[in-house]
Amino acid sequence: MSNVNQALYKIARGAGIVSTGIVISRLFGFLSKVIIARYFSTSEYGVFNLTLTILSIALVIATLGFRSSLPREVSFYTKKNHSKLNDLISTALFIIVLNSLFWAVVLFLEAENISRLFDGDTLASALRRIVFVLPILAITEVLLSTSRGFGRVREKVYFQNIVYPVFFLVFIIVGALLKQPFYFVFTAYVLAKTLTFLILLVDIWRIKFFEFKFLIDPKIGKELIFFSLPLLFTGILGFVMSWTDTLMLGYYMDSRAVGVYNAAAPLSRMLLTFLNSITFLYLPIASQFYAQGEIREFKKIYQIVTKWIFFLTFSFFLLMFLFPEATIVFFFGEKYLKASTSLQVLAFGFMFHTFLGPNGLSLTVIGQTKLAMFGNLFAAIVNILLNVLLIPIYGIEGAAVATAVSYFIYNVFKSYWLYKKTKIHPFNRNYIKALVIGFVPLGLFKMLNIRTTNIFLTGTVLISFLGIYIALILFTKSLDKEDTEVLLTIEKKLRVRLKK
């Protein structure tokens, strides 16, 4: 097996494991959100989402971009400066502990001022109940990013995707059965995150896949921070794109609108599942190819991985784009039906985000973190302006359009610069055939304008469409040689027969 095929098999194997973890995480996460959405009012559900949004933004700032930079840096140090690897990890942890404690205090002290922008005393009380879990979240992210840099998926899947969602769901169910008041959901969140962190620490101490030292190397720390700062701003701007709609709905409208909109938003983000799972190991593996100057192999991996992401995401996109009403009602109930148009718009935006492939990560691989930051900056500015213009007129649909357009700009910018710097793009012949085979029939079917909440009809039409699509993919021979070889390798490992 060639180096490219070995890398693709490793990515595929890791993606299979990570996808399983993400599916489990999304399932338990959705169940938790559904219980909160159904048990409490739409206004309280909106406050819950606003609180976690603000905490998530604080987490991006507290981790200083290390979540994106550490996998790449650990991979590079493993290949080129192995003796300093443990110093790198220890320095990163030391910096993050200090920074996250600082921002936890700031957030606690400023809770009242932040809450005045949105929902008054309810949001302030929620923030103060949850804020001091921030250092635990930040350290957890550094540990998982380090594990990713070593090409490991175990820690992410076990602890981030399984242990935490299970704990949170159990606590939420217990709270609902005991008829606990609304603020219990934040206690449940803190308990679930803290227990997950403690179990992760014990597991890392037992396995010892790296050696922690109580030191900070000023030179390594300076280099890491300077490399990571553009990624910090990229992460902040990414959250601006992801959560400006939620925050501005809270500002221009009310927490009820936020609650309704956040039936569509988490559903649409399910379309990123395969992008996130496949690229989890793509980053460290692509970094190794780039470090060794193997650009041709890097391009081949990018194209194959992008096609995989599209194939796996397309069926979920069809469900949300063609049958948004059925999707909303099935997961959240009829009181969130007003979010169906928003779901369609968001699904289209996130599908565009996936079909161009891991362009932002690839800019990080080649060291162009500033370009990734500028792409996010431009898209975030457009997102804010569109939200300001559209939300007062169109409400939650305006917020969805703003998000979709910003992701379009974000991806075009990054794909352009990736191509300009490396000549890498996703569009080989077979991928173009797959796109045409998928989107042309989709456009024709959409013209029929079928709107239903009937799950049986939805499932029947969707399965028929996918069956025709898969048949056309096979008939037009839209699979690459590398796809076939990886499938044959999986066949041997699983001891199943994938072809006749």
Classify residue 20: in a domain, yes or no: yes
Classify residue 122: in a domain, yes or no: yes
> Which stretches of the chain drop beneath a pLDDT of 70?
1-5, 9, 13-15, 79, 119-121, 448-450, 452, 480-500
Domain extent for 355: 3-494
The pLDDT assigned to 95 comes to 92
The pLDDT assigned to 112 comes to 85
The pLDDT assigned to 293 comes to 78
In 10 A of CB 445, how many CB atoms?
Answer: 15
Distances (CA, A) of 186 to 20, 47, 263, 300, 460: 27, 11, 19, 45, 40
Classify residue 500: in a domain, yes or no: no
Classify residue 149: in a domain, yes or no: yes
Q: What is the pTM of this model?
A: 0.70
Classify residue 439: in a domain, yes or no: yes
Classify residue 499: in a domain, yes or no: no
The pLDDT assigned to 14 comes to 67
The count of structural domains within the chain is 1
Non-local (6+) Cβ contacts of 14 within 8 A are 151, 153, 277, 280, 281
Classify residue 221: in a domain, yes or no: yes
- Residue type for position 198: L
On whether the CB atoms of residues 260 and 339 are closer than 8 A, the answer is yes
